[in-house]
A = this chain, B = another copy of it.
Amino acid sequence: MVQRHPDTLTRETSAGELLGAHLASLSAQFLRALRSREQNEAAASTALSASARRISAALHTYEPLVDAAWARSLRTELAWLGGTLSLERRLTLQLARVHGALHRLAANAPQATDSAADVPGDGTTDPATRADANAAAGPDAAAGAARAPMAIGAARAGALLERQLTLARTRAHSATLSAFGSARFHAVADSVALLASDLPLTPAAGASAAGTLAPLAERARLLLAEQVALLPLPQAGYPHDHHALNATLADAPDGTHAQDAPWHRARELLRVVRYAQEVLGETAPGGDDPARLRTASHALDRHREAAEAARAVAAAARTPRITPATAYALGVLHADQRAEVEAARQAFGRLWQRAAAPTPPTATAPAPAP
């Protein structure tokens, strides 16, 4: 069963028909991805997670049109599957992220033979910092011990994170293989296959698509707007004077920052809104520009990635018996990632406020699957 092209949408198309067509299409994507596992397992896992998220979002937004208990049960299973399958890739990206950051932070680290920076010449010899260095250096002042110590710490921090994240990634890979071999997986794959032929609709699904789906999508947009209203978005036009690293040392024992949660929630609600618009083929009145939503979505993805990386770095800093130089480098790296959390928030805020007014209806083509 193929998805009906939006051009064939007629007054007589019921909500159930349109939703069913969409879910059937997603089901087919899921099964194709499953079959492709043998050629490219990583790509298959990514595609399976993407399909699972979309199916779950559709069942969430349009729940009044289907059997609610069935939908919630299937969403629980899809969340398990998506979470398991996406973990390895997230860890791969995280390792690349922290390596890239360390490279940026330690770029051109000088050797001990580099001459000190030229002190400009009104005769002031900057004794403040020299006194500090002398007071603090102690036995470390020997040139050998002082040879680019921070570069050594950065290298060790990189090696530590490599070990820990690679170990986590290996475990994630094993979990993925176990999942694929499990009865639980076969059950959810069967459930997804049945979406194409056996969708348990409610009587409400018999109403017209235009009159039924659009209000539900609108409700998702309102929930997003309410959540975004809770976020501390900067005043438009104010320069970025905010201290990006406030509360960086105030993470909870599990490494999370309490103020991140509202942003993570907004990210999820935004994704639900984007997927809800896909069901309608983005021809519904009041829909937002999909390109803008996608860019805003990416900003919140970066927000989460940076927050998770910061957390992994903080966790690494609690590894027993690391040297102070390594811990110092991890502190700088953690701060760098928290700064990227803040930068992502700023980017989202600029995107969101630039398009604060509701966009008029537009007959754009459906967005390609990310």
Chain A residues with CB under 8 Å of chain B are 53, 56, 60, 75-76, 78-80, 82-84, 87, 90-91, 94, 102, 104-110, 112, 114, 116-129, 131-133, 135-140, 143, 146-151, 153-154, 164-165, 167-168, 171-172, 239-241, 243-258, 260-261, 264-265, 268, 308, 311-312, 314-320, 322-336, 339-340, 343, 346-347, 350
Contacts and interface: CB of A to CB of B under 8 A. Distances in A.
B252 A116 contact: yes
A296 to B, nearest CB: 15
A177 to B, nearest CB: 15
B332 A90 contact: no
Scoring A112, A150, A268, A333 by chain B CB atoms within 10 A of each residue's CB, the highest score goes to A150
A257 B135 contact: no
Nearest to A130: B254
Given A75-B122, A105-B249, A131-B172, 19 more contacts: A56-B122, A60-B122, A75-B123, A83-B123, A94-B128, A105-B246, A106-B247, A109-B250, A120-B268, A128-B312, A132-B165, A132-B311, A132-B315, A132-B316, A137-B318, A138-B319, A143-B253, A243-B339, A249-B329
A156 B350 CA distance: 38
Q: Give the interface centre of A117, A308, A333 by most chain B CB atoms within 10 Å.
A: A117
Contacts of A82: 124
Contacts of A323: 324
A84 B253 CA distance: 46
Contacts of A87: 127-128, 131
Contact of A151 (B243, B249, B318): B249
A306 to B, nearest CB: 12
Contact of A253 (B91, B106, B110, B328): B110
A301 to B, nearest CB: 13
The 6 closest A-B pairs by CB, nearest first: A331-B331, A79-B123, A335-B335, A324-B327, A327-B327, A328-B331
A178 to B, nearest CB: 13
Given A129-B311, A255-B129, A335-B331, A250 B324 contact: no
Nearest to A131: B168
Contacts of A325: 317, 327
Given A136-B164, A253-B147, A332 B331 contact: yes
Nearest to A259: B117
Contacts of A148: 253
Contact of A331 (B102, B107, B268, B329): B329
Contact of A244 (B107, B133, B257, B339): B339
A171 to B, nearest CB: 6
B138 A164 contact: no
Contacts of A343: 240-241
Contacts of A79: 122-124
Contacts of A260: 117
Contacts of A112: 253
A261 B120 CA distance: 7
Contacts of A84: 127
Contacts of A140: 318, 320
A323 to B, nearest CB: 7
A147 B120 CA distance: 47
Given A91-B128, A128-B308, A332-B334, A239 B350 contact: yes
